[in-house]
Structure 1
Amino acid sequence: MVLVAKFLKIIIMDNFPCGIKQLMPDSFLHPESDWNSGQNASGQNSSPHGSSNKSYLKRYRMELDFNPKDRVFVPELPKFYAWQEWTWKVQESHANVIFDSFNKEMDCKIFSSFHTPGGCSMLMREICLRAEFVPEATWLILSPDGPCGSIQAIMQKGKTLAIQNVGVTPQHRKKGLGKALLLKLMSSLESYNLNKITLEVSAQNLAAIQLYRNLGFRKTKLIYKEVLSFFIPS
């Protein structure tokens, strides 16, 4: 299972208004597709800059009403897996997990940082150098063959924690590590005065969406992110 949670305004891409959709060739259109036709909610063709030669990928913002004192979270890891708390020494390990988790996934089409290990290293540095960075909510999962899971978060206005990435490398998926990362984050926030946790996820990532729902997250906003030009068929 790929957990593709994204709430990053520091990765070049901006959020575009809801309802912006772009016509794609028939081979890219399916009944359940996340490639979208060139109509907005009112049925009119539109794009943020008056151009029709752009494509957008649908994402959801999801939120969880949260009080760290309401319940006790007990993260569980499979045998031979272990937690690693945040230190600067593991910054590159987080970056490597992010790259391995996302470089072949849908999010790679909208976030250029995921394309290279260097881009993920820069992304991780930008996250942890922010004044709003929350070290207590940043965790790495270690497996016998190396780091395999990563989660990070920053504080926002309104007592809100914004999860940045939830990544599990392909060979370690379907073991409950994504859920464990989220629970570990939640269990580490007792000293914070929070009332909300938020994240973003690609609409195509149904497994992640279901996991977030099971943990109490709900969809609060529909977002369209512009697809990078080299992913758009001519």
Structure 2
Amino acid sequence: MGLTYFKRFRMELDLTEPLFDAPPLPPGYELVPWTDGLSREHAMAKYQSFHCELDANVFPCLGRRDGCVRLMREIARRSTFVPEATWLLRHHSPTSRPQAVGTVQGLRVEGWGAIQNLGVTQEHRGYGLGTILMAQAAAGFRRVGLAKMHLEVTTANTAAVRLYRKMGFRQARTVFKAAEVSHA
């Protein structure tokens, strides 16, 4: 194990400006607003989205099912939790029961909407689902009276950085996150 520093961008979006266009929800998908009973489904979507990704190195809890369950419970219990900006995405297959395939959570931090863990499972990427989830979160922040939102993204996650820029986020600053990483 060794200490590694991950370079991350803080990206910001002005919610008083017109929002980016999200594609329509593809057939077979369902957006589900937050309720207390959805914590475990959010956690499983989070785990499936991140456990094999770079962010599981930056935030080790994302690489474990129990870590995602604990993280989701902690987020939902915070006084700054914004249910209106927290969404679950399910996929309905004709041959199986509905499955959680995407998640986003929102917090209110110092007058800003703060995105937590936007994730879409690998097999469901490429359909605009991340953009759809982000649009729902942004609309939720607007509904509770917030005029701006931000997120952090690891710079090596170039697909996410590109997506956020396309949505109108601007890079505000660079931060570094220290994490213990196995150097095998």
Q: Which TM-score applies when normalising by structure 1?
A: 0.71
Give the C-alpha shift of residue 134 in structure 1: 0.3
Query: Could you tell me which of 124, 132, 141 is aligned with 1:180?
Result: 132
Percent of aligned pairs with the same residue? 38
Query: Could you tell me which of 61, 64, 68 is aligned with 1:120?
Result: 68
Query: Could you tell me which of 56, 79, 84 is aligned with 2:5?
Result: 56
Paired residue type of 2:72:
M
User: Computing the radius of gyration over CA atoms, which structure comes out larger, 1 or 2?
Assistant: 1
Give the C-alpha shift of residue 187 in structure 1: 2.3
- How many residue pairs get matched? 178
2:34 is equivalent to residue 86 of structure 1:
yes
Higher helix share: 2
Alignment of 1:36-185 (within 5 A): 54-67=3-16, 70=18, 76-144=24-92, 145-157=98-110, 159-185=111-137
Which portions of structure 1, spanning 4 or more consecutive aligned residues, are displaced by more than 4 angstroms? 70-75
Residue 155 of structure 2: aligned partner: 203
Higher strand share: 2
Residue-by-residue CA offset, 1:14-64 (whole Å, 9 max, x unaligned): xxxxxxxxxxxxxxxxxxxxxxxxxxxxxxxxxxxxxxx632111111111
Give the C-alpha shift of residue 214 in structure 1: 1.2
Q: Call closer, same or farther: CA 1:118–1:213 in 2, change over 3 Å.
A: same
Give the C-alpha shift of residue 114 in structure 1: 1.1
Cα distance between partner residues in 1 of 2:132 and 2:170: 19
5+ long unaligned stretches in structure 2: 93-97
Answer whether contact 1:74 1:187 (CA < 8 A) is retained: no
Q: Which TM-score applies when normalising by structure 2?
A: 0.89
Paired residue type of 2:25:
L
Give the C-alpha shift of residue 125 in structure 1: 0.4
Residue 95 of structure 2: aligned partner: none
